[in-house]
Each structure stands twice: as C-alpha cells, then as structure tokens.
C-alpha cells in the first residue's frame, strides 16, 4: 500500500512510541505508578510515549496543534490541523500484563478526521487509515464483517468501572444486547476495539464515557473499512456526547435500536 507523507510521519511516531511501551511492558512490575483517579492509573510509560510522539510530530509539522491525553491541548499555529493523541490506550491492561494496549494517533483537519494510526506493540499490529484511501492492518486491506443479524454477531463494549459512568443505565443496555447476540466482549482499549470492528473481528461496538483521543483514530479506521458510526442518538457528535456505536450498516442500526430499548 502507498502511504502519504503525513501518514508515514504518524506511523513512525506511533512505532517509536510503541517500542518504548514494549520495553516498559517487559518491566511492568517495576513501573512506578501514580494514582490519577479511581480505577484510572497513569504510569511513567504514558509520559515517555507521549513525549516521543510530541517530539516526532512537532518536528515534522511544527504548525499543527495537539490534543493529548496527558498534556492537554496546544492550539494549532496554522488554525487548521490538530493531532489527537493517546500514547497508551488500555493503561489498566498494560499495568496488569495484558497484551491488549495501543498507541493511537489521529489527524484532524478543519474539524474532520483525515488519518489515523493505531499500533499494538505487544502483537506488532499496525492499523492505518486515510480518508478515501482505505484501512489496513499491517498492509492488509480491511473490511468490516458481513454479518447482518445480531443473533450471529459478537459485540464489543466498554464496562463502567469504579467512579466512572452510570452503572445502572449500562446494565440495562448490556442486558438488552446480551439477549440478542452471539457474544459480548470487553477488551479494555477502545481504540483497538474500533480497529477490531474495522478488521471484522468484532461485528459491532458501543461504549460511553470516551474522550476524543479514545475514538478519533478508530473512527476513521471503521469508516474506511466500510463501517458506520454514530453516537447513541444516531448523530455524529461523538466527541461531545462521549459515546459511540459502530458496526456495518445493518449491525450498527440494530445495535442502536437494541441499546435504546426501555427497561
């Protein structure tokens, strides 16, 4: 596959940060971890990876802005471009030695996501996508799964944890979905969950309480693999509503309907 110069910059940054995470993952028991909030941990590995990404992207495109999980927002000098960065999606998995975590980088141009990279260094899986150019896993073209009925589908989700989300509302949604599908999976890294929808490994996905850096690269990944995404109201304001529903056209529509069923 041919990559643009911009996507190559993103891939290089993600893989360099990924190599740093892989080294820390090998020493996970020795990491010094600080408590950022209930059930939400941040380690030195996050900061090292984010610093690498910031340096690489700033050197290549000094006028672009940033929205980063750990360091916040830096306004774009050109007023048009913004990198949306999660240096370690799946921190809890990482700290528990579970090899399902990723670096996630998206590029937003005038409010539209135009490119995305998601890299899992533990499995050496590199997902890339550019608007109009398709989505790929290690250079293999991706398409969303072709299943059209929930009864045949495996659906990914994110489960609220200590201090986060409305547990009662979620349990109603989960009950509704459980009754309709072949299986439900909770992996623990939204960027990789969305990449798994793009790859056809999951037929659909929904989650609440997400931040833009959790979703941005995954959104273009799913779209370029032929999938559909929205918030739970069926709109496209996922960054504001902080929730997302994804799948192929039929599964997306059915999943939206199912999670909104009354008690």
Q: 158: domain CATH number?
A: 3.40.190.80
Domain of 33, in residue numbers: 5-141
The mean pLDDT value for 135-146 works out to 97
Q: What is the pTM of this model?
A: 0.94
**Judgement on whether residues 67 and 131 belong to the same structural domain of the protein:** yes
The mean pLDDT value for 156-161 works out to 94
Domain end among 141, 173, 189: 141
Determine the pLDDT at residue 43: 77
**Judgement on whether residues 155 and 129 belong to the same structural domain of the protein:** no
**pLDDT grade, residue 31 (50/70/90)?**
low
From CA 149, how far away is CA 153, in angstroms rounded?
A: 7
**Judgement on whether residues 44 and 95 belong to the same structural domain of the protein:** yes
**Judgement on whether residues 154 and 116 belong to the same structural domain of the protein:** no
Contacts of 262 (CB under 8 A, 6+ apart): none
28-37, 40-49, 133-142, 204-213, range with the lowest pLDDT: 28-37
The mean pLDDT value for 221-226 works out to 98
From CA 248, how far away is CA 125, in angstroms rounded?
A: 22
**Judgement on whether residues 185 and 121 belong to the same structural domain of the protein:** no
Tokens of 129: 């996508």
Contact 246, 153 (CB under 8 A): no
Domain end among 80, 111, 141: 141
**Judgement on whether residues 156 and 130 belong to the same structural domain of the protein:** no
Determine the pLDDT at residue 164: 75
Contacts of 58 (CB under 8 A, 6+ apart): 64
**pLDDT grade, residue 32 (50/70/90)?**
low
The mean pLDDT value for 204-217 works out to 97
Determine the pLDDT at residue 211: 97
From CA 142, how far away is CA 200, in angstroms rounded?
A: 8
Domain end among 141, 160, 176: 141
**Judgement on whether residues 22 and 137 belong to the same structural domain of the protein:** yes
Q: What three-state secondary structure class fits 132? A: coil
Determine the pLDDT at residue 256: 97
Q: What three-state secondary structure class fits 237? A: coil
**pLDDT grade, residue 115 (50/70/90)?**
very high
Tokens of 171: 């349990």
Q: What three-state secondary structure class fits 232? A: coil
Tokens of 119: 């890299």
**pLDDT grade, residue 163 (50/70/90)?**
confident
Could you read off the pLDDT of 166-182 as tens digits, one per residue?
898 999 999 999 999 99
**pLDDT grade, residue 262 (50/70/90)?**
confident
Determine the pLDDT at residue 39: 45
How high does pLDDT run on average in the chain? 93
From CA 49, how far away is CA 53, in angstroms rounded?
A: 6
- Is the per-residue pLDDT at 19 higher than 80? yes
**pLDDT grade, residue 28 (50/70/90)?**
confident
From CA 210, how far away is CA 219, in angstroms rounded?
A: 12
Q: Which of 41, 95, 96 is nearest to 69 (CA)?
A: 41
From CA 237, how far away is CA 230, in angstroms rounded?
A: 8
**Judgement on whether residues 110 and 238 belong to the same structural domain of the protein:** no
Determine the pLDDT at residue 65: 98
Quote the crossing angle between the two packed helices 5-26 and 44-60, to the nearest 10°: 160
**Judgement on whether residues 176 and 125 belong to the same structural domain of the protein:** no
Kindly state the percentage of the chain with pLDDT values over 70: 94
Could you read off the pLDDT of 225-247 as tens digits, one per residue?
999 999 999 999 999 999 999 99
Q: What three-state secondary structure class fits 40? A: strand
Domain of 100, CATH number, reads 3.30.540.10
**Judgement on whether residues 161 and 83 belong to the same structural domain of the protein:** no
**Judgement on whether residues 100 and 217 belong to the same structural domain of the protein:** no
**Judgement on whether residues 230 and 124 belong to the same structural domain of the protein:** no
Q: State the total domains in the chain.
A: 2
From start to end of the chain, where are the E strands? Answer: 33-37, 40-43, 65-68, 72-74, 81-89, 102-109, 112-120, 125-130, 134-137, 140-141, 154-157, 183-185, 204-207, 228-230, 244-247
């Amino acid at each position: 596959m041919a990559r643009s110069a911009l996507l190559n910059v993103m891939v290089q940054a993600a893989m360099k940060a990924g190599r740093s995470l892989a080294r820390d993952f090998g020493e996970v028991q020795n990491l010094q971890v600080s408590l950022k909030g209930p059930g939400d941990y941040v380690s030195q590995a996050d900061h090292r990876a984010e610093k690498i990404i910031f340096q690489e992207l700033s050197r290549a495109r000094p006028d672009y802005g940033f929205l980063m999980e750990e360091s916040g927002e830096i306004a774009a000098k050109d007023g048009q471009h913004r990198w949306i960065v999660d240096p370690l999606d799946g921190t809890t998995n990482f700290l528990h030695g579970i090899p399902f975590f990723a670096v996630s980088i998206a590029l937003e141009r005038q409010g539209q996501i135009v490119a995305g990279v998601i890299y899992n260094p533990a499995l050496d899986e590199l997902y890339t996508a550019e608007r109009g150019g398709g989505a790929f896993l290690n250079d293999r073209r991706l398409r969303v799964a072709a299943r059209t009925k929930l009864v045949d589908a495996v659906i990914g989700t994110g489960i609220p944890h200590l201090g986060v989300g409305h547990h009662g509302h979620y349990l109603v949604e989960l009950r509704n979905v459980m009754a309709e599908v072949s299986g439900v999976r909770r992996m623990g890294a939204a960027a990789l969950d969305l990449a798994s929808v793009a790859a056809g490994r999951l037929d659909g996905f929904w989650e609440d309480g997400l931040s833009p850096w959790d979703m941005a690269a995954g959104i273009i990944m799913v779209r370029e693999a032929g999938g559909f995404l929205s918030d739970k109201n069926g709109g496209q304001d996922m960054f504001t509503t902080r929730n997302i529903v994804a799948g192929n056209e039929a599964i997306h529509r059915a999943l939206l309907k199912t999670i909104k069923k009354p008690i």
